Amino acid sequence: MTKAIVLLSGGLDSATALAIAQSEGYACYTLSFHYGQRHASELVAAERVARAAAVEEHRVFPLELSVFGGSALTDPALAVPERQSKGIPSTYVPARNTVFLSIALAWAEVLNVQDIFIGVNAVDYSGYPDCRPQFIQAFEAMANLATKAALEGQELHIHAPLIALSKAQIINIGAELGVDYSLTVSCYQANEQGAACGVCDSCRLRAQGFRDAAIEDPTFYIERG
Amino acid sequence: MTKAIVLLSGGLDSATALAIAQSEGYACYTLSFHYGQRHASELVAAERVARAAAVEEHRVFPLELSVFGGSALTDPALAVPERQSKGIPSTYVPARNTVFLSIALAWAEVLNVQDIFIGVNAVDYSGYPDCRPQFIQAFEAMANLATKAALEGQELHIHAPLIALSKAQIINIGAELGVDYSLTVSCYQANEQGAACGVCDSCRLRAQGFRDAAIEDPTFYIERG
């Protein structure tokens, strides 16, 4: 079996990307990052998803991106917005996907892996620069000059199988592949038990996705008084 | 003054790259990585160099690349070679410059900086894939699609002012700019006091550089019985 590394956040998208990679026959190594995110419960979710999918190996890489500040996802001084903003959201983490893919590339070199999966998608790339198709292509081109494997003629591929899909399409594909979305956490400010706020951008997109996909939303929401 | 980020390893090359950036008028923010390297004394050297150059800010970013293994520089199970090997040396750290530049890019976004300096050079790129000019260009192209600043039309530049230079040329330029090379440590296995082994690839290249530059070698070597 060909090995692949799959970036796994604990959310709905990356759980689906993992299911797609496995359905294509890859033996999957999953990689999560502890990068100072507020919603550390997503790391618990990522582990749950990795275990349910019986991956070869799951790693959590500690990455103190929060020391640089600049994002509502890692900086306690900035509020998580409760409605969709125009332009780049304050939940954007500087150069996040560049850093995540770079570290995946380092692990890929050691494992002798030529395939990396990332769950970016059309909904993301309307707001986040590092979720656009042209970014993924440029990263792949760079990676193919960066490594020992590249020098030896092996070609590295960055797979972004969700990149053109809507949230509803992602959910439909994942449901067909048997992904258990109750294991995933998408909320930007989930509580310690992984219950979702229901009001942040990410919660709204997810809930709308289940409605559009006509699939029951298994999300566990924080009870409000 | 225009700000720049300079990757600073504590070695001769990056100390020279910093001096060049300052001579070009940049206000410099220096970035070192604690990435599980055996020669942690290089971090002490980096701090010394940053202080001597009176940089705006110096940061040490913890990065546990060593958990992936695969390099003699971070894996205690692999020996540091005592003579120049053909092909890619075992001291190559997987995807190191990709990861370093990516994290510099994250800091650059937060600081609103469009210039990053890295001290890679011709001697390195004969062995390390991620020191080649085409890699630097590809990284720059990728970075210009990756960030919020890029979306807003600001152009990021990766400066590699030493890329075509020999070790002797680097030393001559640095000496002219007043770099105190006694503050730097190049050895792959320097001791805790920063004394160099004198036998690893990096020590040999450095010593030869001073000979070729006809400049007295200020390196502090480990005394051998």
Interval A6-54: pLDDT, tens: 999 999 999 999 999 999 999 999 999 988 766 678 899 999 999 999 9
pLDDT digits (tens, 9 = 90+) for B47-69: 999 999 999 999 999 888 777 76
**Residue B67 confidence (pLDDT):** 74
> CA–CA separation, A150 vs B94, rounded Å?
12
For residue B175, give the H/E element and its range. helix B167-176
The angle formed by the CA atoms of residues A211, A30 and A96, to the nearest 5 degrees, is: 75
- Contact between residue A14 and residue A31 where contact means Cβ atoms under 8 Å apart: no
**Environment class of residue B192 by beta-carbon count within 10 Å: exposed (0-12), middle (13-18) or buried (19+)?**
exposed
Whole-number Å distance between alpha carbons of A198 and B3: 41
- Of the two residues A158 and A127, the one the predictor is more confident about is A158
B108/B96 Cα distance (integer angstroms): 18
| Confidence category of residue A72, pLDDT binned at 50, 70, 90 | low
**More confident of the two residues B4 and A122:** B4
Task: Give the per-residue pLDDT at B29.
Answer: 97
Among chain B residues, CA nearest to A128: B148
Residue B132 token pair: 């080649």
The DSSP output letter for B148 is H
**Predicted pLDDT at A79:** 56
Distance (Å, whole) CA B174 – CA B154: 31
| Choice between B12 and B151, residue whose per-residue pLDDT is larger | B12
Contacts of B92 in chain A (CB under 8 A): 148
Q: Name the percent of chain A in helix, strand, coil, to the closest 5.
A: 40, 10, 45
Interchain proximity B95–A88, CB inside 8 Å: no
Given pLDDT bands bounded at 50, 70 and 90, which one contains residue B152? confident
- Report the C-alpha gap between B147 and B153 in whole angstroms: 10
Higher pLDDT pick, A139 / A83: A139
Contact criterion met (CB below 8 Å) for B198 and B222 = yes
CA distance A163 to chain B (A): 15
Give the list of residues 6+ apart from residue A165 with CB closer than 8 angstroms, or none. A121, A122, A173
Do A130 and B149 touch, CB atoms closer than 8 A? no
Per-residue buried b or exposed e for A55-84, using 16+ beta carbons within 10 Å of the residue's own CB? beebbebebebbebbbbbbbbeeeebeeee
Query: Packing angle between helix A12-23 and helix A167-176, nearest 10 degrees?
Result: 50
Q: Calculate how close chain B gets to A221, using CA atoms only, in Å.
A: 32
State the average pLDDT for chain A. 87
pTM above threshold 0.80: yes
Question: Which of the residue ranges A150-164, B16-30, B188-202 would you say has the lowest mean pLDDT?
Answer: B188-202
Flag whether pLDDT at A75 surpasses 80: no
Give the confidence band of A224 by pLDDT, cuts at 50, 70, 90: low
* CB-based contacts of A102, cutoff 8 Å, min separation 6: B95, B98, B99, B101, B102
Q: Which two tokens stand for residue A119?
A: 């769950």
Alpha carbon dihedral B133, B114, A156, B33, in 10-degree steps, equals 90
Residue B128: what pLDDT? 81
Tell me, what's the pLDDT at B40? 75
Spell out which chain A residues touch chain B, with contact meaning CB-CB distance below 8 angstroms. 59, 61-65, 67-70, 88, 92-99, 101-103, 105-110, 129-130, 132, 134-135, 138-139, 141-143, 145-148, 150-151
Cα A55 → chain centroid: 16
CB atoms within 10 A of CB A169: 17
Percent of chain A, pLDDT > 90? 62
* Distance from C-alpha of A48 to C-alpha of A30, rounded to nearest angstrom: 12
Question: Is residue B135 within 8 Å of residue B97, measured between CB atoms?
Answer: yes
b/e sequence A13-26, b meaning 16+ C-beta within 10 Å: bbbbbbbbbbeeeb
Alpha helices in A53-191 (DSSP H): 96-111, 122-125, 133-146, 148-151, 167-176
Chain B positions in Cβ-Cβ contact with residue A114 (cut-off 8 Å):
none
**pLDDT above 70: residue B24:** yes
List CB contacts of B117: < 8 A, sequence separation 6 or more.
B4, B5, B6, B7, B17, B18, B20, B21, B26, B28, B159, B160, B161
B61 contacts in A (CB within 8 Å)? 64, 67
| Lowest mean pLDDT, pick from B71-80, B169-178, B204-213 | B71-80
Q: Give which of A61, A86, A96, A103 to mutate to test B binding, by max B Cβ within 10 Å.
A: A103
- What residues in A contact B139, CB-CB < 8 Å? 142, 146
Comparing CA positions, the residue from B195, B220, B208 lying closest to residue B41 is B195
What domains can be seen in chain A, in order of their start residue? 3-213 (3.40.50.620)
- pLDDT band for A149, please (50, 70, 90 cuts): confident
Q: Is A52 left (phi over 0), alpha (psi -120 to 50) or beta?
A: alpha
**The residue type at A190:** A
Helix (H) or strand (E) holding A5: strand A3-7
pLDDT band of B71, cuts 50, 70, 90: low
B148/A106 CB distance under 8 A:
no
- What is the 3 state secondary structure string of A80-120? CCCCCCCCCCCCCCCCHHHHHHHHHHHHHHHHCCCEEECCC
Helix A201-213 × helix A167-176 angle, to 10°: 60
